[in-house]
């Protein structure tokens, strides 16, 4: 199971538990709605932060792969040039 799925499951469980706790707490309706709204905002911010971290991680991996592919292409091009020079010298 990937860590992203585990994290999402934990966040969902925490959110559900907090929501149920607030709903069953003996408090006035407007205060309960206010607390639910605040908790929702807090969880949305946390989720947004985790998503940004995930996107940053993916971007870093993409850049690493891009650099590796560029290096590989440059090495392959250099080998092709060496082979072309060798063929010209052999014909020469």
The residue that leads in pLDDT, 4 or 55, is 55
pLDDT value of position 20: 80
- Calpha distance 20→67 (Å, rounded): 49
pLDDT value of position 3: 73
**Measured at the alpha carbon of residue 51, what is the angle toward residues 3 and 61, in degrees to the nearest 5?**
70
Establish how many alpha carbons lie within 13 A of residue 37's alpha carbon, considering only the half-sphere containing its beta carbon. Answer: 6
Which residues, including other chains, have CB under 8 Å from residue 46's CB and lie 6 or more apart?
A: 11
Query: pLDDT digit string (tens) for 15-56?
Result: 888 778 777 777 777 887 788 788 888 888 988 898 899 899
Q: How confident is the model at residue 66 (pLDDT cuts 50, 70, 90)?
A: very high
Length of the chain: 92
pTM here is 0.49
Establish how many alpha carbons lie within 13 A of residue 70's alpha carbon, considering only the half-sphere containing its beta carbon. Answer: 6
Instruction: Please state the φ and ψ torsions of residue 62, each to the nearest 5 degrees.
Output: -60, -45
Mean pLDDT, rounded, for 47-73:
92
pLDDT value of position 73: 93
pLDDT value of position 64: 94
């Amino acid at each position: 199971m990937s860590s992203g799925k585990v994290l999402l499951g934990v966040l969902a469980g925490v959110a559900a538990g907090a929501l149920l706790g607030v709903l069953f707490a003996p408090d006035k309706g407007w205060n309960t709605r206010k607390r639910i709204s605040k908790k929702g905002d807090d969880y949305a911010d946390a989720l947004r932060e985790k998503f940004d971290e995930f996107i940053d991680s993916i971007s870093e991996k993409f850049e690493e792969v891009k650099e590796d592919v560029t290096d590989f292409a440059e090495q392959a091009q250099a080998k092709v040039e060496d082979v072309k020079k060798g063929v010209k010298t052999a014909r020469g």
